[in-house]
Amino acid sequence: MPDPIPAPRTAADSRASALRTVLRTALRRLPPGTIPVGGGVCALALASYVYLAIAGRTLSVDAMAGLSVLWSLAFSVGTGLFLPLEQELTRVVAARRARGEGVGPLALRGVRISMSLLLLCLAGLGLFAGPLARQLFRGDRSLVWALGAALAGLSVVHISRGLLAGSGHFRAYGAQLGIDSVLRVVLALALSLAGVTAPLPFALLLSLAPLISVAAGIATTARTAQPGPAAGPTELRKGLAPLTFSTLLGQVLPNAPVVLAELMTSASMKSAGSALTAALLSAMIIVRLPIFAAVSVQPSVLSVLSRAYALGNRAAFRRQLLGATAGALLLGAAGLLLSGVLGPWLATTLFHTPRALGNGDFAVLSLATAGLLLALILSQGQLAMNRQRAQGTAWALGAAVFLGLALLPGSVMARLEASYSGGCWTVALVLGLGIARHLRRHPAGPVAEASAAKAGTVTV
């Protein structure tokens, strides 16, 4: 029998085939690890929203204000101190891995540095527990110690993530984020259903969930720390201090408005201060939604940029950085549209917070967050070039602008919006100009054939 004649391709089939081709091409162009890490980061972002929504509907306004301040401090100070270790571990572990060297000595050094920073934080909290409780937590000292517990969780989780990202174990990285997400939501829901109305149990989840997630994947993390050459005197330590300084400022900028709102209003009008603090945290969580998408590619972007720059492939470095920058701008524009239109409704519906902010407030905060998003991506470029001091200078200038605008006369919300916007866009502008000038002054020389072959494998 003659073979059946295949049915002619329709226009719909052709469009579907073209769409699949475009999607496959787009996926191939993503940095390695983007999908598993991105999935984990999206899960953690969603979990953060659900966690805060459950807390907002369970706790009183005053209790939620205390949890809001604790949340902001934990993820500004804690992330600012321990994320640099993750980033530096990612960079140096990726470099050693490219040379075929073990990273065990680097892992031990990272643990020692992390524990030293944690002990300093805990000592400071113990020394100033009374003033901190009075000024930020309305006399509740238990939240000061919950803050210490949250810092302990972050100190452990960022070491683990740095080893996983630098070693290319992006699936394990994403799984750790996913476990943290599930635990945060399930345990918060259990507290709510049990009728818990004190902020302390909810605050302790910020340490319990990440620690369990690290324990669940400890075998994979341990396998990354294979024996290798002893860590050099400057390896991992060289740029850590300026990087910590810049990262700390980078975390303070988006979280400081919530803390400042509490400090500016609590002395004279506690009820209004509680409402503004809780509403502002909800607003900042909503407008920072694009940040979670950017964070999903940060570990892989840093790893790829570090490899390309170390191998002298400036073309791959530029293409990757320009692509990430373009993506950041598109995310910022989408966030501005979403928050400017639906921000107030989302805040009151999802988090059950007082309607203290309008559409204009959300639009301004979203525009400022677009600058922060761009600054975070450009910071990865500076870090990959091992220019931590230049990165720190940019964030210091942004912090100075933030503080200067916050001290100007005017209403509390107007000062917070102006300072947040000015600080974020100052950092983005200085970082961008610094990268462009450095690449002009240091063009890549001839790349050896072996290096060129390795650099050619980088996904850009």
Residue 124 CA to residue 127 CA, distance in Å, equals: 5
Q: How far lies 221's CA from each of 55, 188, 217, in Å?
A: 32, 27, 7
User: CA angle 44-49-51, nearest 5°?
Assistant: 90
- Classified as helix, coil or strand, 100 is coil
Residue 285 or residue 159, greater confidence: 159
Residue 119 predicted with pLDDT over 90: yes
User: CA angle 310-311-315, nearest 5°?
Assistant: 100
User: How many C-beta atoms lie closer than 10 Å to residue 412's C-beta?
Assistant: 18
Residue 450's pLDDT is: 41
Residue 426: which of 453, 407, 399, 446 has the closest Cα? Answer: 399
User: CA angle 74-206-123, nearest 5°?
Assistant: 50
Residue 379: which of 83, 34, 40 has the closest Cα? Answer: 83
Residue identified by tokens 């970082």 is 431
Least confident of 8-17, 140-149, 271-280, 360-369: 8-17
Residue 393 predicted with pLDDT over 80: yes
User: How many C-beta atoms lie closer than 10 Å to residue 113's C-beta?
Assistant: 21
Q: How far lies 80's CA from each of 23, 93, 242, 320, in Å?
A: 36, 20, 12, 25
At 191-225, the pLDDT tens digits run 999 988 888 999 999 999 999 998 988 888 787 77
Here the tokens at position 318 are: 């530029």
Residue 375 CA to residue 392 CA, distance in Å, equals: 12
Q: How confident is the model at residue 15 (pLDDT cuts 50, 70, 90)?
A: low
Residue 434 or residue 315, greater confidence: 434
Residue 251 or residue 142, greater confidence: 142
What is the distance, to the nearest Å, from the Cα of residue 141 to the centroid of all Cα atoms in its chain?
A: 28
What is the distance, to the nearest Å, from the Cα of residue 447 to the centroid of all Cα atoms in its chain?
A: 34
Here the tokens at position 341 are: 């239109």
Q: Averaged over 156-182, what is the pLDDT? A: 86
Residue 140 predicted with pLDDT over 80: yes
Q: How confident is the model at residue 454 (pLDDT cuts 50, 70, 90)?
A: very low
Q: In terms of residues, how long is the chain?
A: 460
Residue 11 predicted with pLDDT over 70: no
Give the rounded percent of residues in the chain with a pLDDT score beyond 90. Answer: 15
Residue 142 CA to residue 200 CA, distance in Å, equals: 7
**pTM of the predicted structure, to 2 decimals:** 0.68
Q: Averaged over 448-456, what is the pLDDT? A: 40
Residue 451 CA to residue 312 CA, distance in Å, equals: 8
Least confident of 19-28, 334-343, 386-395: 19-28
Residue 308: which of 84, 458, 118, 134 has the closest Cα? Answer: 458
Residue 24 CA to residue 21 CA, distance in Å, equals: 5
**CB distance 242 to 391 below 8 Å:** yes
Full DSSP string of 101-120? ---HHHHHHHHHHHHHHHHH
Q: Averaged over 64-69, what is the pLDDT? A: 82
Residue 431's pLDDT is: 92
Q: Averaged over 232-257, what is the pLDDT? A: 74
